[in-house]
Structure 1
Amino acid sequence: MPLKSIRVLDLTRLLPGPYCTMLLADFGAEVIKVEDPMMGDYARAYEPKTDEKSAFFHSLNRNKKSICLNLKSHEEKQYFLRLVEEADIVVESFRPGVMEKLGLDYQILRDINPGLIYCSITGFGQTGPYKDKPGHDINYISYAGLLNLMGERDGKPVVPAAQIADIGGGALPAAIGILLALIERGKSGRGQFVDISMLDGVLSWLQILLPGYLTNHIEPERGKQTLSGGLACYEVYQTKDDRWLSVGALEPKFWSNFCKTIGKEEFIPKLGEPIDQQDVMKYEIQKVIRRKTLKDWLEAFADKDACVSPVHTLHEVIASPQVSARQMLQNIPQQTNSLQQPGIPIKLSETPGKIRSQAPEHGEHTKQILSQFGVKEK
């Protein structure tokens, strides 16, 4: 596996950091989850549970090991420093200054291990006036201007169901940053500090909206943008059985096929009409779509290239032949049953990722790992 020889010390909890280190673990890295002895990762307590353990925690922390260390204890801090000597990567998600107060910041760890790659995932990064602010996903997408553009035109902003800032703005850039630093270390032998801000990450997602604003200084409006509710060809329509049909017929050929299938050929030349005409088309299209069930429409579009899809429930997602073919749901053996969880999204032809073990018990590997480094617990 591509990361087989890489050792990661993971001090993170909940979602952004554990998702990042899950990706590394799935491709062979030895990820040692360093947890406090009292509670550990808060995600362990999340419902629902299987085998008395959180399904959420299970998914994010597969392929990892867990040790318990009280980093406020001088003795146990020394254990951690011993681990750092032979680690490749440290990942933490505390607010700026916390690791410094513990005497475990990058400057100190770098002196112990000059090749160490130290990644910090925070809401606002290590610099700037907001760096010490607390926050969650909703706050970061708010500051980035993304939340203001999500939702219907005359309604309030809609909170997304998936954590855009945590994963897209934090976990994924962190994993990429770590791998970039590993490549550089292979050339120079030096490690470095990887500073990940979830606000920065979300801002970088605004590729369609922000460059336009920086050019014309016209504030985009909610529900009026090309890919967020402004066009009749890129919309969600309700069916007779109160299900939903998504349409992404942006290109003329797809739009033409869509209009012909619903019997609205007169709309074909109106693909790029102004917003008021788009609203008229959406109203008329909705009336047509409401006449048939979702099943009827899927049959009508079955052999048409029109970018039309059902809006799936999770029950339908797990039954999807495409999801199955891509192995995006995998069964993980447990003590009493088999746990199903999301698979590995990155497919490598020669060195694929693999789910090798379930999430560890709290501190399950403490004695084993410390003994490997010549440390004997009292």
Structure 2
Amino acid sequence: MQLDGVRILDLTRLLPGPYATQLLADSGAEVIKVEDTGAGDYARHGQPRSERDVGAIFEMVNRGKKSVSLDLKSDEGTEAFYRLVESADVVFEQFRPGVVDRLGIDYETLRSYNEELIYCSLTGYGQDGPWADRAGHDLNYVGLAGLLDMTRESPEDKPQMPGYPIGDMGGGLFSAFAITEALLSRELGNTGGEYIDVAMSDVVASFSQSVTYQALTGDPAEPRPGQTALSGTFPWYDSYETADGEWVTLAALEPKFWRAFCEAVDKEHLIDAHEDHDPETFAAVAEELEALFAERTREEWEDALGDVDAAFGGVYSPAEMVEHPQLNARDLVERPDDAPPRIGFPARSSETPAETNEDLPAQGEHTESLLSAVGYSDGELEELREADAIR
């Protein structure tokens, strides 16, 4: 996973797009943030603040990148962007549909400067369809995609907001995948440049494979919250409160896991219930499990069941997660000496770059050096500064 030599012009801001390009930067790509000459990426100014006094979200998803600051509403700034495009592999944007056309940086325009260019657009609802121009955030995307409906215990309960922005992160992850796929396709000689349209709501809808077959086929057993194998029907696939007010998870979907669990907690009489799909049986088993787990603390249950082949685990807060020995053994939580800690690249490879760049770019920090590299003289740079086309 070494993308050395790949240059990405990143017009995105806040979380979804920057998460995508952080994954690519961690894999060795040169990511150049293209920020405006005003506030730049809004995430720079958000709360809470990091140890380096920038927005914490900005800190987490912009390390090892470069920054140029251009006024793309000016002819001079747009011309400078075109010069950068000539040597780029990828342009990645996250504006609402139509904005890049008004700025003159749409795919059809840019391909005249670089016919091998890969251009990715990430939006909430995509470039077409009746909702394409609608404003939205993560909650709207997961609402459209069916996820929010399935977060409640029953159809009568209020939907529960996911603790993480699933649409944002899923959209960013899929954008990184699509860009990498397009780069590979180009290198294989199968395609040249191409345009990629990623919608965050589409990505979350793609996550619904386990529940949408019935909906697609008109099966009367339409998936409803609390009534599917993975949303509360089975007492052996659920979370339970422990004696200390914490929670644990049991995911013994397979009979072998359920048997191992029942034997470990002296509940052998419940083993055959795994084959009984009577709702009254489910309710009786759930009641017995609730009483059982309430007898010990989460830590005590972890000690008792951690080594049992029963698909058991604890429910941990983010603060507990980043200190958990499992994730630390995987080196997922990176704690560099010269930068605040962060969650690192979530895969391991024999070809992963040995070190990652933890520097954060100041807004426009690399404007002059990058424009000089594409042919701008000192005099031309001074003219751009006087015209407020760069920062």
Could you say whether these structures have the same fold, taking a TM-score greater than 0.5 normalized by the shorter chain as the test?
Answer: yes
Aligned-partner Cα distance in 1 for 2:164–2:111: 35
Matches within 5 A, 1:171-186: 171-186=172-187
TM-score normalised by L of structure 2: 0.92
> Is the 1:26–1:353 contact (alpha carbons within 8 Å) kept by the matching residues of 2?
no
Aligned twin of 2:79: 78
Aligned-partner Cα distance in 2 for 1:108–1:165: 29
Aligned-partner Cα distance in 2 for 1:107–1:142: 33
Aligned twin of 2:388: none
Structure 1 counterpart of 2:47, which letter?
E
Structure 2 counterpart of 1:312, which letter?
Y
Aligned-partner Cα distance in 2 for 1:129–1:183: 33
- Is the aligned partner of 1:296 residue 2:300? yes
Gaps of 5+ in 2: 383-391
TM-fit CA distance, 1:320: 1.7
Q: 2:232 aligns with which of 226, 229, 233?
A: 229
The 1:275/1:44 distance shift into structure 2, 3 A limit, reads farther
TM-score normalised by L of structure 1: 0.95
Q: 2:278 aligns with which of 255, 271, 274?
A: 274
The 1:69/1:333 distance shift into structure 2, 3 A limit, reads farther
The 1:70/1:230 distance shift into structure 2, 3 A limit, reads same
TM-fit CA distance, 1:264: 2.1
Q: 2:206 aligns with which of 204, 222, 227?
A: 204
TM-fit CA distance, 1:354: 3.8
> Is the 2:24–2:176 contact (alpha carbons within 8 Å) kept by the matching residues of 1?
yes
Aligned-partner Cα distance in 1 for 2:308–2:185: 48
Aligned twin of 2:39: 39
Aligned twin of 1:28: 28
Deviations 1:103-132 (A, max 9, x none): 110000011100000000011111111111
Aligned twin of 2:11: 11
Structure 2 counterpart of 1:192, which letter?
E
Aligned twin of 2:146: 145
Structure 2 counterpart of 1:44, which letter?
R
Aligned-partner Cα distance in 2 for 1:377–1:166: 36
Aligned twin of 1:190: 192
Aligned twin of 2:389: none
TM-fit CA distance, 1:135: 0.6
SS in 2 for 1:112: coil
Structure 1 counterpart of 2:215, which letter?
Y
> Is the 1:344–1:354 contact (alpha carbons within 8 Å) kept by the matching residues of 2?
no
Aligned-partner Cα distance in 2 for 1:188–1:265: 58
Aligned-partner Cα distance in 2 for 1:275–1:159: 27
> Is the 1:330–1:342 contact (alpha carbons within 8 Å) kept by the matching residues of 2?
yes
Aligned twin of 1:247: 250
> Is the 2:6–2:89 contact (alpha carbons within 8 Å) kept by the matching residues of 1?
yes
Aligned-partner Cα distance in 2 for 1:294–1:344: 29
SS in 1 for 2:67: strand
Structure 1 counterpart of 2:214, which letter?
G
Structure 2 counterpart of 1:363, which letter?
G
SS in 2 for 1:245: strand
> Is the 1:344–1:353 contact (alpha carbons within 8 Å) kept by the matching residues of 2?
no
Aligned twin of 1:108: 109
Structure 2 counterpart of 1:223, which letter?
G
Aligned-partner Cα distance in 2 for 1:189–1:155: 49
Aligned twin of 1:287: 291
Aligned-partner Cα distance in 1 for 2:9–2:353: 22
Deviations 1:242-274 (A, max 9, x none): 111111111111101212223322211111423
Aligned-partner Cα distance in 2 for 1:330–1:162: 20
Structure 1 counterpart of 2:10, which letter?
D
Deviations 1:141-200 (A, max 9, x none): 1111111111222421111011111111x1122111111111221204610001101111
- Is the aligned partner of 1:373 residue 2:374? yes
Aligned twin of 1:93: 94
> Is the 1:231–1:275 contact (alpha carbons within 8 Å) kept by the matching residues of 2?
no
> Is the 2:306–2:313 contact (alpha carbons within 8 Å) kept by the matching residues of 1?
no
Deviations 1:293-344 (A, max 9, x none): 112212221331111111112232222222112111112344xxx4100011
Aligned-partner Cα distance in 2 for 1:82–1:345: 34
> Is the 1:329–1:342 contact (alpha carbons within 8 Å) kept by the matching residues of 2?
yes
TM-fit CA distance, 1:276: 3.4
The 1:279/1:359 distance shift into structure 2, 3 A limit, reads farther
Identity %: 43
Aligned-partner Cα distance in 1 for 2:220–2:146: 14
TM-fit CA distance, 1:362: 1.3
Aligned-partner Cα distance in 1 for 2:328–2:296: 29
Aligned twin of 2:126: 125
> Is the 2:240–2:293 contact (alpha carbons within 8 Å) kept by the matching residues of 1?
yes
Aligned-partner Cα distance in 2 for 1:98–1:23: 26
Structure 1 counterpart of 2:262, which letter?
C
> Is the 1:27–1:353 contact (alpha carbons within 8 Å) kept by the matching residues of 2?
no
> Is the 2:306–2:312 contact (alpha carbons within 8 Å) kept by the matching residues of 1?
no
TM-fit CA distance, 1:353: 6.5
The alignment covers a number of residue pairs equal to: 374
Aligned twin of 2:385: none
Cα RMSD (Å): 1.5
Aligned twin of 2:321: 317
The 1:302/1:128 distance shift into structure 2, 3 A limit, reads closer
> Is the 1:121–1:196 contact (alpha carbons within 8 Å) kept by the matching residues of 2?
yes
